[in-house]
Amino acid sequence: MPTAALVTTLVLTALVIDRIVATLVFITTYLRVSRQKDEVSRATTAELQRKMWFVFLSGCLSAVALVFVPVRILPAGNMEPFVTWLVLVAASDRIAELMGTQQAAHAPAPSAAGHGDFHVTGTLALDEESAARLKAMKPK
Q: Tell me which residue range forms the domain holding 73.
A: 3-110
pLDDT tens string 13-29 = 777 788 788 888 888 88
* Residue 139 located in a structural domain: no
| Segment 73-127, tens digit of pLDDT | 777 777 778 888 887 887 777 776 667 665 544 444 455 445 566 677 878 788 8
The span from the CA of 67 to the CA of 64, in Å, is: 5
Long-range contacts, stretch 41-44, CB < 8 angstroms, 24+ apart? 43/109, 43/110, 44/109
Going by C-alpha positions, the residue among 31, 19, 4, 13 that lies closest to residue 89 is 19
Is 35 within the bounds of a domain?
A: yes
Our count of domains for the chain comes to 1
pLDDT tens column, 52-88: 888 888 888 888 888 888 777 777 777 778 888 887 8
Q: Is residue 98 part of a domain?
A: yes
- Is 124 domain-assigned? no
Helices (H), 35-113: 39-68, 80-99
Whether 63 is in a domain gets the answer: yes
- From the list 41, 59, 54, 65, the residue with the least C-alpha distance to 97 is 54
> What does pTM read for this prediction?
0.53
